Amino acid sequence: MDRFVKGFIVMSIVYLAVSTVLGIAMVVSQEMNAFRFVHSHLNMLGWVSMMIFGVGYHILPRFVGRPLKHPLMGEIQFYVANVGLVGMLLFYTLNAYNPSDTHVALTAIFGAMEGLSIFMFIYNMLVTIVPKTEMPH
């Protein structure tokens, strides 16, 4: 298993744990509803997407019998995705408590970073699995 595959799976499980605790806190306390965006994106981008990135990088190239086209890009995507997600959620929350243009701009920058990481996965996966497999004669 590649290092970044394991990284995605471990971080996905960490985000599941954090978002579950947050979700329960949101049920218990109305004030915690300010964390709905954090909870939903920890779940959708953290738990769900990162588990799919990790499992997808490992399994999808094997389905077509070819290695991942750009493994270094997968490694870089791991860091871009995690920094993007944590940065976006941190500055979104800071902006909710202390609104400022700087917080909005930083939320957007880290959000764009998260978007970039998603497109790195899309590109790497498509160039790996779309080309036709050579049939042995």
* Residue ranges in contact with ligand HEM by CB under 6 A: 20, 23-24, 26-27, 33, 36-37, 39-41, 43-45, 47-49, 111, 114-115
DSSP assignment of the chain: --HHHHHHHHHHHHHHHHHHHHHHHHHH-GGGGGGHHHHHHIIIIIIIIHHHHHHHHHHHHHHHTS--S-HHHHHHHHHHHHHHHHHHHHHHHHHHHS--HHHHHHHHHHHHHHHHHHHHHHHHHHHHHSSPPPPP-
CB of 43 to ligand HEM, least distance (A): 4
Q: Give 23 or 71: the residue with its C-beta nearer to ligand HEM.
A: 23
CA 42 to chain centre: 9
Residue 127 C-beta: closest distance to ligand HEM, Å: 21
> Could you tell me the smallest distance in angstroms from the CB atom of residue 18 to ligand HEM?
11
Pick the closer one to ligand HEM by CB: 26 or 120: 26
CB-nearest residue to ligand HEM: 23
Minimum distance from CB of 123 to ligand HEM (Å)?
A: 15
For ligand HEM, the closer of residues 3 and 29 by Cβ is 29
